[in-house]
Chain A
Amino acid sequence: MEYKLRKAEPKDVPEILRLVKELAKYEEMEHQVTLTEKDLLEDGFGETPFYHCIITEIQGDDSSGGLKVVGFAMYYFTYDPWVGKQLYLEEFYVMEQYRGLGIGSELLRHLSNLAMKTRCTGMMFVVAENNEPSVQFYKRRGAEDLSQEEGWRLFRFDKDSLVKMASPAEE
Chain B
Amino acid sequence: MANFILRKAEPNDVSDILRLIKELAKFEEMEEKVLLTEKDLLEDGFGDHPFYHCLVAEVPKEQSSEGYTVIAFAMYYFTYDPWIGKLLYLEDFFVMQEFRGLGIGSKILKVLSETAVKTRCSSMHFIVAENNTKSIEFYKRRGAADLSSEEGWRLFEIEKPDLLKMTSK
Contacts and interface: CB of A to CB of B under 8 A. Distances in A.
Interface of A: 20, 23-24, 29, 32-35, 39, 43, 50-51, 74, 76-85, 88, 90-91, 105, 108-109, 112-113, 115-116, 121-130, 138, 141-148, 150-166
Given A50-B86, A109-B166, A129-B153, 18 more contacts: A20-B83, A35-B85, A39-B85, A43-B86, A77-B51, A78-B89, A82-B34, A109-B167, A115-B163, A126-B154, A144-B158, A146-B154, A154-B153, A155-B126, A155-B145, A158-B122, A158-B143, A158-B145
Given A76-B79, A76-B80, A81-B36, A142 B165 contact: yes
Given A151-B129, A156-B145, A121 B160 contact: yes
By size class, the interface of chain B is: 35 or more
A165 B84 contact: no
A47 to B, nearest CB: 11
A162 B116 contact: yes
A42 B34 CA distance: 36
13 contacts: A33-B82, A76-B79, A79-B44, A79-B77, A82-B33, A83-B35, A122-B157, A127-B153, A141-B162, A151-B131, A156-B123, A157-B124, A159-B122
Interface of B: 21, 24-25, 30, 33-36, 40, 44, 51-52, 75, 77-86, 89, 91-92, 109-110, 113-114, 116-117, 121-131, 139, 142-149, 151-167, 169
Q: Give the dominant DSSP class at B's interface.
A: mixed
Contact of B155 (A112, A124, A164): A124
Nearest to A153: B148
Contacts of B35: 82-84
A112 to B, nearest CB: 4
B21 A82 contact: yes
B67 to A, nearest CB: 23
Contacts of A91: 82
Contact of B128 (A81, A84, A121, A153): A153
B111 to A, nearest CB: 9
